[in-house]
Copies of this chain bind each other. A is one copy, B any other.
Amino acid sequence: MRKWVYTFADGMAEGSAADVALLGSKGANLAEMSRIGLPVPPGFTITTDACNRALQDGEIPQRVREQVDAALRHCEIMSGKKFGAITNPLVVSVRSGARVSMPGMMDTVLNLGLNDETVEALSEQSGDERFAYDTYRRFIQMYATVVMGCDHALFEDILDAARENAGASRDNELGAEELRGIVKSYKNAIQDDLDETFPQDPKEQLWRTVEAVFKSWNNPRAATYRALHNIPVEWGTAVTVQAMVFGNSGRNSATGVAFTRNPSTGENVLFGEFLVDAQGEDVVAGFRTPDPLSIVDDKPGASMQERLPEPYKALTSLANDLEQHFGDMQDIEFTVEAGKLWLLQTRAGKRTAKAAIRIAIEMANSDVISRQTALMRVDASSLDQLLHPSIDPDAKRKIIASGLPASPGAACGEIVFSSADAVAAKAEGRDVILVRPETSPDDIQGMEAAVGILTSRGGMTSHAAVVARGMGKPCITGAGGMRIDKHNKALVTGGVMLRSGDYLTLDGNQGQVLEGKLPMVDSELSGDFATLMEWSDAERRLKVRTNADTPTEARVARNFQADGIGLCRTEHMFAEGERSNIMREMIVAETEEERRAVLDRLMPMQRSDFIELFEIMQGHPIAIRLFDPPLHDFLPKEEEAIRESAKTLGIDSSKMMRRVEELREINPMLGNRGVRLAICFPEIAEMQTRAIFEAAILAGKKSGELVVPEIVVPLVAYNAELEYIRTRIDKIADEVMASHDQKIEYLVGCIIELPRAAIRAELIAQSADFLSFGTNDLTQTTLGISRDDASTFLSTYLRKGVIQLDPFINLDVEGVGELMRIATERGRKTEPELLLGITGEHGGDPTSITFCEKLGLDYVSCSPYRVPIARLAAAQAAISKKAG
């Protein structure tokens, strides 16, 4: 006979913690606690299978009913009470419990089994009429709303009126007489509302409640939650029926929540709060303020330790047992009934990143868990909180706008509306927040000068977002609710108008724009954090490189112990100051000779850029991407700016205007850039190649460390493109090496950022020494989505549930990932040892890193401030893979 119901009581249980799929996490943990002898009220759990069957059949199957009846009898025996009896009646809770915690999504009913007769029995037995009717009142209210479908407000109104009549400010100030009246009013209200009588038969109460809890698995709230968290509908929920213990039965009773360690700091002390003479819901409801468990200085005499010393001692000891048993910090629900401690639930406790690290390391150090388990315990993404300064948690926030959390950390400063203003303010030693509709390469200096960046347009991978992450500066993009009034230099948002010089604080972790100057707290990367990184490095197979274009970024990444540079975007080197003028001169030049002459002036600058990077990276590999963006990126767009620029360069403004017009593109993302530009104007790539090889040789001579440059060709679709450029690179390499009379090793490869390149990887691998997946552009082309324009519809998609994750943040494993799989398979068919990496934003995303580990890539490359995240995520991926 199939087993649908599992009992537990008093040191015995039919299930255990291993049965989480069948009993739900709550049911499994109750079974486990009971099994190891902890004080758990007797009860039983109806399985998730029973739920599925019931939902399918539209009713609870007879076999299930029979087993529930038997389990209920068992519960009666173990509790010494009888369900529905008019002496010593058994009162139970009926609680939902899925495989993973879905807090508040499904339904629960407490105090079930009470009716007009059993409430009298409870009253007599407890000698506390007020308690009995308070409990009955609670039950009717819950049952009516959860099972019968009444409006909650109906009961709140009655309760409010009763409180007013009695002049009571809290529920527990109401006397027995008032509560009797409330019970009567409740029942009348139900009759009026539904034309149905509140059921007096406890069995009917039970069956209808179990059915309602089953059905709550499919309520809209739960369905949305499941969709968001990828929880399959097939899992179903279990239902636990358990004898009630009453925290609301007098001054010697209580209910509370305990964490075995401090969930904010990780400190190894019991932490939590409780309420005397209350049921669990009261702690949540917030009418009364709970008191601390342990003695605190500022609330003498309030703690459980002082008021209920025996149960407190028992709780301390049991907390320790539970943590040892489950091997993790526990979040425990307990009730004290007439001085006796009962445990109602235990689960792994939620905690801050800081606490997670400390707990994991201390538990591993005291051999409760292995180092691998400790690493798995820390959410890699959460490290972001620790890597940047953050707003003092105690500061009072006034949110005036919200946007995308494009780059983490926090900053505050005076508002400026142009890069020029930012640079000027910086020169005067002022901290500024650069506020722009969106940023372009023209804003690089301003972004460099600012402490934070705020834009009204753009997404998580807009120019502002990508550059700010590289710089490690907080940035909020797409703050659509605010309007920038360029003429008056003002920012209008949330009814507030702010002007240049007004203070603003950005919370880049949450995408909040806050008014005024809030206090900050610093990041801390030593101690436990350093240990965590050390342990990660011992486990991971994937190398973690960084995407770094500037010496500053490279230094930050080396400080985070990046294994090299996976992507150095050289175009940013041309966006600033004098260079941008030389660049414009090159672009408007009309012949190859003219262009070469201008490029000759850029070459020494490029060379010194590379020498500096090679020196900072101390022999770690550096992959340098040849010039990628379309040329028009470097030209001004508006007529006035064109005229001004032409004047600066001393050329005819109509000529410049014509060139701007010629270079205009309808879809620049798919235009003349990357290798296409290199084939149309090979002189640019040739200048860069020369600079790279000369720098490599010079830096190598200077430091004595061997430099192995990796040259990355962008936007390759055809193998012939790579061949075309590679021939030229090899030729220049030979020339430079001959002229310096020194041979060096070097690699030439390309980015796989177009679907065609992925599909043709078998051929491309014949000409490439390495391939790196440029998943930003590969996502754009595979999905046909321009990341600059995506925010309008992707937000709608997420809202309507068409997609669950933003593919520019979490790698689209089924689409883009499948192309990566094909490319990996085909590329390694040609060259089994082919060096493979990922350099898109996904290189710093833990779930994407897990996928890269599965694929067998050699490295991930991410923005400097994500290097620690990637190191931990790579370790976790390796551990998971080993575990199968």
Contact = CB atoms under 8 A, between A and B. Distances in A.
A111 to B, nearest CB: 43
A668 B724 CA distance: 31
A849 interface: no
Interface in A645-690: 665-672, 676-677, 679-680
Range of interface residues on chain A?
35 or more
A370 B789 CA distance: 57
Contact of A667 (B668, B677, B679, B753): B668
Interface in A427-459: none
A788 B667 contact: yes
A299 interface: no
Interface in A789-815: 789, 792-793, 796-797, 800-803, 812, 814-815
A756 B667 contact: no
A780 interface: yes
A760 interface: yes
Interface string A626-654: 00000000000000000000000000000
A816 interface: yes
A563 to B, nearest CB: 29
A796 B672 CA distance: 11
Contact of A679 (B676, B796, B818): B796
A788 B670 CA distance: 9
B784 A753 contact: yes
Contact of A717 (B677, B760, B784): B784
A105 interface: no
Given A717-B783, A782-B755, A796-B680, A669 B666 contact: yes
Contacts of A198: none
A459 to B, nearest CB: 11
B680 A760 contact: no
Given A755-B782, A782-B781, A818-B759, A665 B800 contact: no
B720 A786 contact: no
A777 interface: yes
A148 interface: no
A672 B717 contact: no
Contacts of A361: none
Contact of A800 (B677, B679, B759, B784): B679
A812 B815 CA distance: 21
A718 interface: yes
Nearest to A717: B783
A803 B754 contact: no
A672 to B, nearest CB: 5
A518 interface: no
Contacts of A293: none
Contact of A815 (B721, B756, B789): B756
A206 interface: no
Contact of A672 (B720, B755, B793, B815): B793
Interface centre among A668, A717, A780 (most CB of B within 10 A): A717
A666 B756 contact: no
A680 B802 contact: no
A715 interface: yes
A786 B667 contact: yes
A793 B679 contact: yes
A754 B754 CA distance: 12
A665 B789 contact: yes
B797 A679 contact: yes
Given A755-B781, A782-B756, A784-B753, A815 B668 contact: no
A783 B758 CA distance: 10
A220 to B, nearest CB: 17
A785 interface: yes
A717 B797 contact: no
Interface in A705-733: 715, 717-718, 720-721, 724
A112 interface: no
Contacts of A147: none
Contacts of A669: 666-667, 670, 784, 786
Nearest to A437: B661
Interface string A314-328: 000000000000000
A787 to B, nearest CB: 9
Nearest to A792: B672
Contacts of A380: none
A760 B715 contact: no
Nearest to A753: B784
A797 B800 CA distance: 44
A781 B782 CA distance: 7
Interface centre among A669, A759, A796 (most CB of B within 10 A): A759
Contacts of A676: 793, 797
Nearest to A758: B755
Interface string A342-361: 00000000000000000000
A819 interface: yes
A665 B788 CA distance: 8
Given A668-B666, A793-B679, A816 B782 contact: no
Interface centre among A666, A720, A814 (most CB of B within 10 A): A666
A802 B756 contact: no
A680 B789 contact: no
Contacts of A796: 679-680
A724 to B, nearest CB: 6
A815 B667 contact: no
Contacts of A670: 667, 669-670, 780, 784-786, 789
Contacts of A680: 792-793, 796
Given A672-B789, A803-B720, A756 B783 contact: yes
Contacts of A782: 754-756, 759, 781
A666 B789 contact: yes
A599 to B, nearest CB: 19
A781 B819 CA distance: 13
B788 A777 contact: no
B819 A755 contact: yes
Contacts of A665: 786, 788-789
A841 B371 CA distance: 60
Contacts of A818: 759-760
Contacts of A781: 755, 781-782, 784
A117 to B, nearest CB: 52
A815 B756 CA distance: 5
Nearest to A797: B679
A671 B788 CA distance: 9
A724 B801 CA distance: 10
Contacts of A788: 665-667
A299 B754 CA distance: 64
A815 B764 CA distance: 12
Contacts of A672: 789, 792-793
A777 B812 CA distance: 21
A668 B789 CA distance: 8
8 contacts: A667-B668, A667-B670, A676-B793, A715-B784, A717-B815, A754-B783, A756-B784, A756-B816
Interface of A: 665-672, 676-677, 679-680, 715, 717-718, 720-721, 724, 753-756, 759-760, 777, 780-786, 788-789, 792-793, 796-797, 800-803, 812, 814-816, 818-819
Among all A-B residue pairs, the 10 with the closest Cβ atoms: A670-B786, A667-B786, A756-B815, A755-B755, A754-B784, A671-B789, A666-B788, A676-B793, A665-B789, A667-B667
Given A667-B668, A755-B784, 14 more contacts: A666-B789, A667-B667, A670-B786, A671-B786, A679-B800, A680-B792, A680-B796, A717-B815, A720-B803, A753-B784, A755-B819, A760-B815, A781-B781, A781-B784
